Amino acid sequence: MPPDSAVRIGVLFPDILGTYGDNGNAVVLERRLRWRGLATQIERIGVDDPVPAECDVYVIGGGEDQAQVLAADRLRSNPALSRAVDRGAVVLAVCAGLQVLGRWFAGPRGERYEGLGLLDVTTVARRRRIVGDITVLPDPALLPDALTGFENHQGATTLGRDARPLGTVLQGTGNGAGRAVDGAVQRRVLGSYLHGPVLARNPALADLLLEWVTGAPLPALHVPDGRKA
């Protein structure tokens, strides 16, 4: 990223993905940059809009089955996101977003849909839905402290050789297949089942993504009302 240009945050398909307040994640990234005096802008990319390849960070949220299939369809017909990831762009994908970025995912009746293959994961449907609080101890190479969140999904996601888990599940279910882990990390693409405003609950994760973007440790944050953030 050139030092004097604004960080571009692309929100993918907020019109159809974002069931659990996921759009808050872009707000958190934007504010944490701005409070540190860095220029930034949010671009909301609707499902019928062309996807720009030039954003520095992309966030993609969760949604119901139909929305997920439509999102995968739109992203596959356009190489922009894959091109961006190839050049080092950062992606945060939660819930359905994580599944869409995988190699394939199964629909509600078991039919397979092709994903983007940006994460080496595959997802089938579990018999029972997983709903509840989740705590994840992240890979220490990423972050030292536990992440907390809420999960509400029916996916069972298996990691392939190229993807590492985000962390070990201490409470809750996470990926729901094989080892008790959550999420997937590959290059600068980070996926998780901690849905909704995961970055608001876990500011250290927000700052990790922003350090990936800026390529340097971020200065300590002084938030407007003096609260710890």
Partner 1 sequence: MQIRLSLAVAAGAFAGKLSRLARRGRGVIISGRVTLAIDPDALRKLARNRLVVLVSGTNGKTTTSHLLAAAFATGGRVAANRSGANMPDGLVAALSRDRQAPVAVLEVDEPHLPQVVDAVDPAAVVLLNLSRDQLDRVGEVHRLEARLRRALAGPPTTLVVANADDVLVTSAAWDAPRTLWVGAGAPWDQDGRICPRCAEPVRWYDGSWSCTCGLSRPVAGWALDEDKVLTPDDRRLPLDLALPGRANRANAVMALATACALGVDAEAALAAIGDVAEVNGRYRTVDRRGRAVRLLLAKNPAGFAETLTLLDDLPGPVVVAVNSREADGRDVSWLWDVPFERLRGRHLVACGDRADEVATRLLYAEVDHHTVADPRRALDGLRPGPAVLVANYTAFRDAARALDRAA
Q: Which residues bind partner 1 (CB under 8 A)?
A: 15-16, 18-24, 27-28, 31, 47-48, 64-67, 69-70, 131-133, 150, 152, 195-197, 200-201, 223-225, 227, 229
Options 55, 153, 195, 222, the catalytic residue? 195
Active site residue 195: yes
Question: What is the nearest approach in angstroms of partner 1 to the Cβ of residue 46?
Answer: 8
Options 55, 95, 153, 222, the catalytic residue? 95
Structure tokens at 68: 């997920």
Identity of the residue, 90 or 206, whose beta carbon is nearer to partner 1 in the bound complex? 206
Identity of the residue, 89 or 197, whose beta carbon is nearer to partner 1 in the bound complex? 197
Question: What is the nearest approach in angstroms of partner 1 to the Cβ of residue 30?
Answer: 9
Identity of the residue, 60 or 84, whose beta carbon is nearer to partner 1 in the bound complex? 60
Other beta carbons less than 10 A from residue 77's beta carbon? 8
Identity of the residue, 28 or 163, whose beta carbon is nearer to partner 1 in the bound complex? 28
Per DSSP, what are the bridge partners of residue 137? 168
Question: What is the nearest approach in angstroms of partner 1 to the Cβ of residue 66?
Answer: 4
Distance CA 209, CA 220 (A): 15
Question: What is the nearest approach in angstroms of partner 1 to the Cβ of residue 111?
Answer: 13
Q: Catalytic positions, please? A: 95, 195
